[in-house]
């Protein structure tokens, strides 16, 4: 008391620092220590889990393949009016020739064709055929004419040397750019650009640029006078390979998907496509994903609802039986919960198939004719039954933990006040058990909506979910962008539900195993 009254200034800790400061430091230390404990795991989860999810989100809009494979074409094509009935100008075809030659050397043209084929059927064959033929185009006339005027240009070493000159690179940017792509490709293949034959397309590039008025004082280029050259139409060359190159649809598709980022995969995932006037619905016969999303939602709802219907009585019984009996019966709920998912799925396959246990019993009982065995698998019914069974424990456990907290005396009180059994249940017990139903339903719904294994095995064609389509696009059709877009939509749906779950139940209250 006297100490404080005599002391001037703030209160001091034992070591003489102000108490406030000392406390703040201790608090900071504790915060740091806690964060240090959490940090390794946080980093681990970030790298092994969050980064992959972010990568998936990125892939759903990423579209660099077009501009990476056809850089010159994309630039030239930007000036083309997509509404015109005319295919693009000769310059676009020249750019395409350069790009496609590079792509076919690198074997990238089929990949690009496959990518564009997702948007417009038939493109992939145009790319494949052209990639095969592009090396044999009649452009060798340019090569011959250029070499006739400047014979040193036949040697690759001369090209390498020429490309060292900064002046020339400034004068002939397109040729320099193209040479760099070519040289870089050769180097990745382990070849020396100074030794490999210079391909026709490089001479053609040089010709295009000189024809368009570029000039260079370089001793190898100066002798060239291209005004009197014999020419060949590249548009004609491409037309010979595949008529599709003159179709405006093909060019419109390339132009639409030229940017590095696209909403195309997302539009595709909701049955739309990029048209000339913005997004538009796909033709009826190509619509599929909206139906699939609807089916996923509908079946998840049915499964959730059947789980409520089956889980509620069981949870009620478990919550109201004496402890010993309830614990014993709980095993019947926990055993399926702990049993491998594949075990349960395979046993449903055993039970539901046409020569399966249920059909056998029904036939033996005479309820079903042997010739008319029920089809219960490879359809929606099979998926719903199997998944209801698999997810039922996830419904019963949260319901049970909520019902355990409802005092049975409430029901007795209601009855003693004159309520009938039904009123007492419906007006007194049921409202108190709603949080359990909510928690269980959201849990089951979240799990159901992203299920893959069970629908894949017992779902057949009509009982599959959106997740099966995602898996199909990753492993079979290799349309990773579309898979990522479908996954992103599904993820968004789940995250909204998760948020709702957090609001209703709280993440901290998730309980496992009762």
Cβ closest to another protein, residue 294 vs residue 346? 346
Is residue 498 a contact point for another protein (CB under 8 A)? yes
Q: Which of 240, 165, 153, 257 is nearest to 205 (CA)?
A: 153
The token duo for 154 is: 């036949």
Pairing relationship of beta strands 272-275 and 278-281 according to DSSP bridges? antiparallel
x/- letters, 416..435, toward another protein (CB under 8 A):
-----x--------------
Identify which range of 6-14, 135-143, 208-216, 471-479 contacts another protein by CB under 8 A.
471-479
CA distance 362 to 352: 11
Cβ closest to another protein, residue 371 vs residue 512? 512
Q: Cβ neighbours of residue 147 under 8 Å, at least 6 residues apart?
A: 153, 154, 203
Q: Which of residues 438-457 bind another protein (CB under 8 A)?
A: 446-447, 449-453, 456-457
CA distance 463 to 485: 22
Burial class of residue 269, CB neighbours in 10 A (0-12, 13-18, 19+): buried
Cβ closest to another protein, residue 170 vs residue 332? 332
Identify which range of 84-92, 224-232, 354-362, 426-434 contacts another protein by CB under 8 A.
354-362
CB 226 within 8 A of CB 207: yes
Q: Which of residues 26-45 bind another protein (CB under 8 A)?
A: 27, 30-31, 33-38, 40-42, 44-45
Cβ closest to another protein, residue 280 vs residue 370? 370
The token duo for 129 is: 């055929």
Shortest reach from residue 399's CB to another protein, in Å:
13
Cβ closest to another protein, residue 166 vs residue 323? 323
Is residue 317 a contact point for another protein (CB under 8 A)? yes
Is residue 494 a contact point for another protein (CB under 8 A)? yes
Q: What is the 3-state secondary structure (H, E, C) of 389-444?
A: HHHHHHHHHHHHHHHCCCCHHHHHHHHHCCCCHHHHHHHHHHHHHHHHHHHHHHHH
| Identified binder of another protein from the candidate list 87, 113, 193, 356, rule CB under 8 A | 356
x/- letters, 152..171, toward another protein (CB under 8 A):
--------------------
| Identified binder of another protein from the candidate list 147, 158, 491, 500, rule CB under 8 A | 491
Is residue 512 a contact point for another protein (CB under 8 A)? yes
| Identified binder of another protein from the candidate list 211, 480, 500, 504, rule CB under 8 A | 480
Structure-token match 């494949």, residue found: 128
Is residue 364 a contact point for another protein (CB under 8 A)? yes
| Identified binder of another protein from the candidate list 367, 369, 409, 503, rule CB under 8 A | 367
CA distance 272 to 137: 38
Q: Which of 384, 394, 412 is nearest to 315 (CA)?
A: 394
Q: Which of residues 133-152 bind another protein (CB under 8 A)?
A: none
Q: What is the 3-state secondary structure (H, E, C) of 197-246?
A: CCCHHHHHHHHHHHHCCCCCCCCCCCCCCHHHCCCCCHHHHHHHHCHHHH
Q: Which of residues 297-316 bind another protein (CB under 8 A)?
A: 310, 313-314
Cβ closest to another protein, residue 255 vs residue 345? 345
The token duo for 504 is: 């209703």
x/- letters, 48..77, toward another protein (CB under 8 A):
xxxxxxxxx--x------------------
Is residue 391 a contact point for another protein (CB under 8 A)? no
Shortest reach from residue 307's CB to another protein, in Å:
11
Phi, psi of 358 (to 5 degrees): -65, -45
């Amino acid at each position: 008391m006297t100490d404080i009254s005599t002391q001037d200034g703030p209160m001091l800790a034992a070591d003489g620092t102000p108490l406030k400061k000392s406390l703040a430091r201790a608090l900071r230390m504790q915060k740091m220590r806690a964060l240090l404990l959490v940090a390794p795991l946080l980093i681990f989860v970030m790298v092994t889990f969050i980064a992959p999810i972010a990568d998936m989100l990125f892939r759903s809009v990423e579209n660099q393949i077009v501009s990476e494979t056809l850089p010159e074409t994309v630039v030239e094509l930007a000036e083309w009016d997509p509404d015109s009935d005319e295919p693009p100008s000769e310059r676009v075809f020249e750019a395409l020739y350069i790009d496609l030659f590079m792509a076919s050397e690198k074997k990238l043209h089929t990949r690009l064709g496959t990518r564009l084929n997702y948007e417009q059927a038939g493109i992939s064959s145009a790319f494949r055929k052209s990639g095969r033929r592009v090396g044999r185009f009649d452009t060798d006339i340019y090569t011959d004419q250029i070499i006739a005027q400047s014979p040193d240009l036949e040697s690759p070493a001369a090209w390498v040397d020429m490309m060292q000159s900064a002046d020339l690179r400034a004068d002939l940017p397109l040729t320099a750019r193209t040479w760099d792509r070519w040289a870089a490709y050769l180097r990745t293949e382990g070849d020396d650009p100074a030794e490999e034959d210079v391909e026709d397309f490089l001479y053609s590039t040089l010709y295009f640029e000189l024809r368009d008025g570029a000039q260079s004082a370089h001793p190898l280029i100066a002798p060239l006078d291209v005004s009197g050259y014999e020419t060949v139409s590249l548009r004609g060359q491409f037309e010979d390979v595949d008529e599709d190159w003159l179709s405006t649809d093909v060019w419109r598709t390339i132009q639409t998907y030229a940017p590095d980022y696209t909403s195309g995969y997302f539009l595709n995932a909701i049955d739309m496509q990029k048209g000339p006037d913005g997004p538009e619905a796909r033709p009826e016969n190509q619509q599929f994903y909206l139906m699939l999303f609807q089916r996923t939602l509908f079946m998840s709802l049915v499964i959730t609802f059947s789980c409520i219907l089956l889980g509620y009585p069981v949870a009620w019984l478990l919550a109201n039986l004496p402890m010993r009996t309830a614990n014993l019966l709980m095993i019947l709920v926990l055993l399926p919960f702990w049993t491998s998912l594949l075990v349960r799925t395979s046993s449903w396959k055993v039970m539901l198939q046409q020569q399966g246990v249920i059909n056998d019993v029904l036939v033996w009982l005479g309820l079903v004719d042997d010739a008319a065995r029920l089809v219960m698998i490879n359809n929606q019914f099979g998926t719903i039954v199997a998944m209801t069974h698999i997810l039922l424990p996830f419904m019963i456990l949260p319901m049970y933990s909520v019902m355990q907290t409802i005092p049975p005396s409430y029901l007795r009180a209601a009855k003693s006040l004159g309520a009938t059994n039904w009123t007492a249940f419906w007006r007194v017990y049921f409202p108190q058990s709603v949080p359990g139903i909510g928690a269980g339903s959201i849990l089951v719904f979240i799990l159901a909506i992203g299920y893959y294994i069970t629908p894949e095995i017992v779902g057949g064609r009509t009982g599959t979910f959106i997740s099966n389509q995602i898996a199909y696009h990753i492993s079979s059709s290799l349309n990773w962008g579309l898979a990522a877009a479908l996954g992103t939509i599904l993820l968004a749906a789940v995250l909204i539900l998760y948020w709702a779950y957090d609001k209703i139940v709280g993440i901290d209250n998730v309980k496992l195993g009762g």
